[in-house]
């Protein structure tokens, strides 16, 4: 992973705030799905991964990574995500991870074929 820095504050200055927000907690990570609007009222999705970390000195901090997805790319992103999930489900070495209790995976794949 490269060490370049993105000025997310500059990106966020382009929007007028959250329209919708959903948080998913997954162990030490949290994912935030935020629908935002530009000044010209175009909607876009921001996905943020926040991970709790501890420095060598014992200080707690959060690493954040963001991607921004514009509505014209939703279909391509959904297709790629569906193919990726399908690959993992079909090629997982631990098939028990994707048993009938995880029907959402299979439903997602079926809906996006």
Domain presence at residue 3:
no
Domain presence at residue 81:
yes
What is the per-residue pLDDT for 109? 65
Three-state SS string across 50-109, please? EEEEECCCCCEEEEEEEEEEEHHHHHHHHHHHHHHHHHHHHHCCCHHHHCHHHHHHHHHH
Quick: pLDDT tens for 52-63: 888 999 999 999
Task: State the CATH number of the domain containing residue 26.
Answer: 3.10.450.700
Domain presence at residue 71:
yes
Q: Which residue has the higher pLDDT, 16 or 108?
A: 108
What is the per-residue pLDDT for 1? 41
Quick: pLDDT tens for 22-36: 999 988 899 999 999
Give the structural domain span for 47: 8-111
Cβ atoms of residues 35 and 45 within 8 Å: yes
As for how many domains the chain has, the answer is: 1
């Amino acid at each position: 992973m490269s060490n370049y820095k993105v000025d997310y504050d500059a990106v966020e200055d382009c929007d007028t705030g959250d329209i919708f927000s959903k948080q998913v907690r997954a162990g030490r990570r949290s994912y935030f799905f935020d629908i935002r609007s530009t000044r010209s009222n175009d909607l876009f999705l921001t996905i943020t991964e926040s991970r709790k970390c501890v420095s060598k000195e014992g200080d707690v901090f959060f690493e954040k990574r963001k991607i921004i997805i514009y509505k014209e790319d939703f279909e391509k992103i959904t297709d790629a995500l569906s193919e990726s999930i399908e690959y993992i489900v079909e090629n997982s070495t631990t098939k028990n991870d994707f048993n009938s209790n995880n029907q959402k995976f299979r439903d997602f794949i079926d809906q996006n074929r």
